[in-house]
Structure 1
Amino acid sequence: MSDHNASLDDHHRAPIIGYHRAPLSQKFGAPRQPNLVALTSVIEMLAPYDTPAAFIGLEAFSHIWISWQFHHNYVDKTNHESKDKQVNKADSRFRPQVRPPRLGGNQKIGVFASRSMYRPSALGLSVVKFERIEIVQGRVLLIISGADMIDGTPIIDIKPYVAYSDALAHAKSGFAPSAPTSLDVTITELAYHQFTQMVVNQQLYKEPSEPYTVAAVIDKVRTQLIRSDIDAIKALIAQDPRPAYRRAEVNKQFVMRYKSVDVSFQLIESGQLQITDVVAVVL
């Protein structure tokens, strides 16, 4: 490689400026597009990008653009002959076509005509609602809602959303002209009791005066259940995270991890999705 090409490669390397901290730690259950579910989450900025001076003026905007990385496209593979753990691409081959869920998971289209995670850059782009900035221990935390990112997502860039140029009223949206239809979601008495009991138990074991630290703020978003979480869980399941080819399967259990619980749900005869079980997980 020439010195010229090497310098270009260095120039185009994008730094990770922060990490997304959220109730969803797995891809299954995450909204397929932003702003479908008003789920609150946090962007933890990293040094030196966590200085408050870098965010002066951002509070004047209601929404922001987030550039981020599909980090679950990568898997940990352990070399059993050594103790080193290496991160490799799950599949490094270029995929020119994908099967969008909106088309039933059967029809293929070009990857550049989709928002598929399996793209050459492994980069995502989302517009989310900007709630507020919190300065904790001298560091910046961005409180947002409506993200379609999971916990641990690397953040590459943040820019303000400008309505007059970013919102184009007459734009065509191809195979996704409108938001997907949400399904009705019910919950069994047993599952609701399980959920409410876990909320009570967490409150009982919670320290009476936890210090206001970055770790405490993130832990609250990622693991601590509150009563209104049941509405968030229902809204996520209403988006129907099941694979498109399995959506006709009645009484087939699927499990979505939310904060510190695994939520089981299934399609029932009435055509509704029903939450049947809520079980605590060890994090």
Structure 2
Amino acid sequence: MKSDLTVPVIGIVHSPFHEKFGIPRQPNLVQVPAIIEFNPPYDDALAFEGLDEFSHLWLIWSFHQNKADSQSPKKFRTQIRPPRLGGNQKLGVFASRSMYRPSELGLSVVELVKVIRQNGKAKLLIRGADLLNGTPIVDIKPYIAYSDAIPEAKSGFAQAAPALLDIDWTIQASEQAKALIKQQLFDTEQQGLINELLALDPRPAYQDDANRVYGMAYDFVNITFRIAGQQVIVESLTKIHR
């Protein structure tokens, strides 16, 4: 039996997440848009015939920015600390969706908004992505509602969706958002998505300092914020020049 498996990278994700901090911990928690651009020969439009009939897709992808283990890049981690459990309780790696897995492969279900066809090539517009910009895609498969959705399924420590925090923008942050919107460098849809992302509490589970200011990049803006109790206070919104 072969011990290793080689898979092709069929495409790359273009998303507004240029840093890992702030990415939702599960897909479809926030309807973040993204584009999947395919590498030849996988970009042939014929390979996507019939895909328009499906509303959602499974994406199989690679955790391409994982840090190598300090002792050995190949060392198998048997246990991890899920953020959902406060980062203190250990569970088996196969009882989690941790990025530190033997294969370093991820699985996400996303909404298929549109198959974009041009000159015999195709790319996909999706929503609900929990993927870093540049994430390699190794396969896509259609989501089949009658078999993939199991309403009575048990989800262990993640049975219910996470509780959401309240959002409050300071006067300074609100004025900065208005200025960027006026310059057509930002829009209210992006502001709404940022609110939804922050409401999920992107902080590491072990951090709980009401005075600490965090920074999160989303597309071409940087957001600074604090979290006190159940409230996120957005302090500033500035343009990033990439």
Deviations 1:16-35 (A, max 9, x none): 00011111111100000011
Tell me which amino acid in the other structure corresponds to 1:62: S
Residue in structure 1 matched with residue 52 of structure 2 by the alignment: 59
- Please, what is the CA RMSD of the aligned residues? 1.7
Classify 1:137/1:275 alpha carbon distance in 2 versus 1 (closer, same or farther; 3 Å). farther
Partners of 2:127 and 2:6 in 1: CA distance: 28
Residue in structure 2 matched with residue 220 of structure 1 by the alignment: none
| 1:171 correspondence with 2:131 | no
Classify 1:173/1:271 alpha carbon distance in 2 versus 1 (closer, same or farther; 3 Å). closer
Residue in structure 2 matched with residue 151 of structure 1 by the alignment: 133
With normalisation by structure 2, the TM-score equals 0.93
| 1:242 correspondence with 2:203 | yes
Where does the alignment leave 5 or more consecutive residues of structure 2 unmatched? none
Tell me which amino acid in the other structure corresponds to 1:237: L
Residue in structure 2 matched with residue 130 of structure 1 by the alignment: 112
- Contact 1:41-1:143 at 8 Å conserved across structures: yes
Residue in structure 2 matched with residue 48 of structure 1 by the alignment: 41
How far apart are residue 198 of structure 1 and its match? Answer: 2.0
- 1:267 aligns with one of 203, 222, 227: 227
Where does the alignment leave 5 or more consecutive residues of structure 1 unmatched? 75-88, 204-223
Deviations 1:146-192 (A, max 9, x none): 11111110001000000111111221111110111111111112112
Higher helix proportion (structure 1 or 2): 1
Tell me which amino acid in the other structure corresponds to 1:113: A
| 1:116 correspondence with 2:77 | no
How far apart are residue 138 of structure 1 and its match? Answer: 4.1
Residue in structure 2 matched with residue 38 of structure 1 by the alignment: 31
| 1:1-283 correspondence runs (5 A) | 9=4, 12-74=5-67, 89=68, 91=70, 92=73, 93-201=75-183, 203=184, 225-246=186-207, 248-268=208-228, 271-283=230-242
With normalisation by structure 1, the TM-score equals 0.80
Tell me which amino acid in the other structure corresponds to 1:33: Q
Tell me which amino acid in the other structure corresponds to 1:153: T
Report the secondary structure of 1:228's partner residue.
Answer: helix
Segments of 4+ in structure 1 off by > 6 A?
none
Partners of 1:123 and 1:148 in 2: CA distance: 14
How far apart are residue 139 of structure 1 and its match? Answer: 2.7
